[in-house]
Amino acid sequence: MKPILIILLVAISALTARRVNASESADAETATAEFISEILPIKYAKAEDVADVLTYLSGSGGGNKDNVQRLLRHTSISNGLPALGHIKLLTDVRSNSLLITATRQDEETIKSIVLKLDVVLPQILIEAVILDVKLPNRGGYSKKPSRLRTPADLFIESGAMTNVQVAWVTNFAPVTATDAQLSRASGFSYVARIGQDLDSVLTATATDSRVTLLQKPRIQTSDEMAASLFIGLVNGLGVALEMTPSIHRDGFLELDIRQTIDEVTGQVNIRNVGDVPTTTSTLSLAKLRLQNHDTLMIGGATRIIEHELLAEAPVLKHMPRLRNLLRGLTYRTRSEIILLLRPTILPGPASERASH
């Protein structure tokens, strides 16, 4: 029995000695490894995004994984992810640069990674046209606009858009809205792709007195980066559209549209403050797939404006009898806000890489 115990003790001692020697040699290699620090300026990308990728590749468990995958899709790094050792990163947002501390070997690998990440992402130009289309006044309509409107309603009511060809129509899907909120929401309710080009539609509507051009904003954004557009309407209504384009390898564009409607619903009296408006917010989504340079029409936002008759005809104010007779008389006009969108992939090296 004693010889067996002696053999076991000898084996355990030898194994322990080997582990200690291996640990000491690893510590010695780490201690003798030359760590260097260097500042890497970032020209086109964001330093925070590059730091996310480097942190992810170092295996330290940090970094926004979704953001990392988005960035890697535009580079060749995803074909073979390099492994990085122990590195330290500091991000300087003001100068858009990285302070990196790593071994000389990792330093060269990091520089090659940064070179592939620091590129201009594919650019998308979103051209928007906001139109106010007058609708014919019909008796018996309510002051509350209808939520469930389609392009067909607009084509029937307004001759300005009768020649527009509709390829497909989709409705906004509510996310954070109850049935009561949807019944009173006054934002956009449908998205349609039309067959004509944006320029030809504008040419056709330029001579129509029922169509008023309100704005022509242009937004340039990067692939998978959100672009925001706010449209202020009447009665405290505001519609914010957040559009995120994504370029696919087959040349198609995927457009995610988030619509947020902020609407004044009433007032509440606060002591020592006064009347404060109360608001509700409704969120709805639409996901579209379209070709480059397609034209979209977003509509369904109907507004009713009440006009005072005496204010529209100031000459009547100088006629006492008519002024007393017409005082307080009003009339209403109806119109629909139409938003035309045309996303275009701008030419450039980054766009060519995304399409191949």
- In whole angstroms, what separates CA 63 from the centre of its chain? 21
Give the H/E segment covering residue 277. Answer: strand 274-290
Give 276-327 pLDDT, tens digit per residue: 877 777 777 888 888 888 888 888 777 676 666 666 666 666 677 666 666 6
Q: Which residues contact 84 (CB under 8 A, 6 or more apart)?
A: 54, 57, 58, 59, 102, 106, 109, 110
Query: CATH 3.30.1370.120: which residues of the chain?
Result: 24-117
| 86-137 pLDDT per residue, tens | 788 888 889 999 998 888 888 888 888 888 888 888 899 999 888 888 877 6
Q: Which CATH architecture has domain 24-117?
A: 2-Layer Sandwich (3.30)
Where b means 16+ CB within 10 Å and e means fewer, 152-190 reads ebbeebbebbeebeeeeeebbebeebeeebeeebbbbbb
The pLDDT value recorded for residue 146 is: 41
SS3 at position 74: coil
The pLDDT value recorded for residue 182 is 41
- Asked if 258 contacts 242 with a C-beta cutoff of 8 angstroms, the reply is yes
CA distances to 129, 131, 132, 155, 161 from 297, in Å? 10, 10, 13, 12, 11
Backbone φ/ψ region at 319: left (φ over 0), alpha (ψ -120 to 50), beta: beta
Q: Outline where the chain has alpha helix (H).
A: 2-32, 47-57, 65-72, 104-117, 151-157, 179-184, 198-205, 309-312, 320-326, 349-355
Q: What local confidence, expressed as pLDDT, does residue 328 receive? A: 66
Characterize 208-238 residue by residue with b for buried, 16 or more Cβ atoms within 10 angstroms of its Cβ, and e for exposed: eebbeeeeeeeeebbbbeebebebebeeebb
What pLDDT, on a 0 to 100 scale, did the predictor assign at position 140? 39
Q: What is the pLDDT of residue 235?
A: 53
pLDDT score for 21? 57
Report yes or no: 227 and 236 within 8 Å, Cβ to Cβ.
no
- Does the predicted model carry a pTM greater than 0.75? no
The answer to whether 332 touches 142, Cβ cutoff 8 Å, is no
Predicted local confidence at residue 178, as pLDDT:
44
The helix or strand, by DSSP H or E, that contains position 37, with its residue range, turns out to be strand 35-41
**Block mean pLDDT (10 aa), the chain, length 356:** 53 57 51 76 87 80 69 64 77 89 86 86 89 68 41 43 57 52 57 78 80 87 87 66 86 85 76 79 81 85 69 66 68 78 80 52
Three-state DSSP class for 211? strand
